């Protein structure tokens, strides 16, 4: 599988498709099975594993770390992405409400917790999970730069940030923001038109696409747009030689921003099928046929 390398930091690269672990706590796998899934994905060329401190009620990092400790040599073959900045109500804290915290103390504490849970000395990529309306860009930049300088984090980025929010943080940072993880799918193509993906291309930022199947609605949802897209995908299956999952991923991968879709299934066979999309470049007219189906109208 091809890789994508950051134009802002040539030492940072990712697999063309990433593995999302936000549902790992529901996969009912023991540590050896989790390790086996990671090893098989690595053999398939998927080396980027996406996490966050809050995933699985703050449990998924530890579950993945437990698997990695069985064979610590596996760690060097992968890129681990994690996120911080959200304080989520749950069984492991006494927060009165879900809220954001991009302050120095929380970011440091979150990174230290992630490293401990994962059993690693460094994160390949740390993302700020959501834009914080109380973000002090200078304070946040200082702690991010320090985490990079001390080797605890190798690269930094953001998630769900709009272009002006990226630019504000980058204006205070020494380290480049190499990634913006945003929601993109056939049912949420807005970032292709509102400047988010344009900004990524302009600045050399790699976009990671979360929920590339629209949370499953693309295949099972009852909305009119989802039904139109399913009909279009069915009509293109023979022409493209791909199933619905592959068509949906190939549609994203066709975008020139070098988008990295984040898949979130623990089913290896389903993952293998989806990954085959990376070997197919979608032709132009089918791409626009799918866009028309999703939006319910032709381009202007």
Tens digit of pLDDT for each residue in 65-93?
999 999 999 999 999 999 999 999 988 88
Residue 256 has pLDDT above 90, yes or no: yes
Q: Which residue among 55, 58, 95, 100 is the active-site one?
A: 55
- Confidence band for 264, pLDDT divided at 50, 70 and 90: very high
Domain 10-183 belongs in CATH node 3.40.50.620: no
Q: What is the C-alpha separation between 184 and 47, in angstroms, rounded?
A: 21
Tokens of 61: 């990092």
Contacts with 255 (C-beta within 8 Å, 6 or more apart), sequence order: 192, 197
What is the pLDDT averaged over residues 9-34? 97
**CB-based contacts of 270: which residues, under 8 Å, 6+ apart?**
245
Instruction: Give the pLDDT mean for 178-184.
Output: 98
CB within 8 A of 188, min separation 6: which ones?
Answer: 211, 214
d(CA 53, CA 51): 7
For residue 122, indicate whether it is catalytic: no
- Confidence (pLDDT) at 216: 94
Quick: pLDDT tens for 131-173: 999 999 999 999 999 999 999 999 999 999 999 999 999 999 9
Sign, CA torsion 32/3/193/295 = negative
Q: Is 90 helix (H, G, I), strand (E, B) or coil?
A: coil
Q: For residues 186 and 214, is the Cβ–Cβ distance under 8 A?
A: yes
Tell me what the mean pLDDT of segment 270-289 comes to.
93
Half-sphere CA count of 290, side-chain side, radius 13 A: 25
Which DSSP helix (H) or strand (E) runs through 106?
helix 104-118
Nearest alpha-carbon partner for 55 in 13, 32, 83, 19: 83
For the question of whether the overall pTM of this predicted structure is more than 0.85, the answer is: yes
């Amino acid at each position: 599988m091809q890789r994508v390398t950051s134009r802002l930091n040539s030492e940072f690269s990712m697999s063309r498709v990433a593995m999302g672990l936000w549902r790992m706590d529901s996969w009912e796998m023991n540590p050896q099975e989790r390790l086996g899934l990671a090893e098989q994905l690595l053999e398939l060329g998927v080396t980027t594993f996406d996490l966050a401190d809050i995933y699985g009620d703050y449990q998924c990092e530890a579950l993945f770390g437990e698997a990695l400790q069985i064979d610590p040599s596996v760690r060097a073959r992968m890129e681990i992405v994690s996120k911080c900045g959200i304080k989520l109500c749950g069984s492991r804290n006494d927060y009165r409400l879900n809220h954001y915290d991009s302050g120095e103390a929380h970011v440091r504490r979150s990174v230290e917790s992630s490293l401990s849970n994962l059993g690693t000395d460094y994160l390949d990529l740390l993302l700020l999970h959501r834009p914080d309306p109380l973000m002090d860009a200078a304070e946040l930049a200082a702690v991010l730069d320090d985490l990079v300088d001390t080797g605890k984090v190798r690269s930094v980025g953001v998630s769900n940030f709009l272009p002006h929010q990226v630019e504000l943080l980058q204006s205070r940072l020494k380290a480049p923001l190499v990634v913006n993880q945003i929601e993109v799918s056939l049912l949420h193509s807005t970032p292709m038109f509102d400047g988010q993906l344009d900004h990524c291309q302009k600045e050399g930022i790699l976009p990671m696409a979360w929920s590339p199947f629209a949370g499953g609605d693309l295949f099972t949802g009852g909305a009119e747009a989802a039904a139109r897209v399913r009909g279009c995908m069915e009509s293109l299956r023979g022409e493209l030689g791909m199933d619905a999952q592959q068509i949906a991923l190939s549609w994203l991968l066709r975008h020139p921003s070098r988008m990295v879709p984040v898949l979130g299934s623990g089913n290896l066979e389903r993952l293998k099928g989806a990954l085959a999309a990376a070997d197919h470049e979608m032709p132009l007219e089918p791409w626009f046929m799918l866009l028309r189906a999703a939006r319910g109208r032709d381009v202007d």
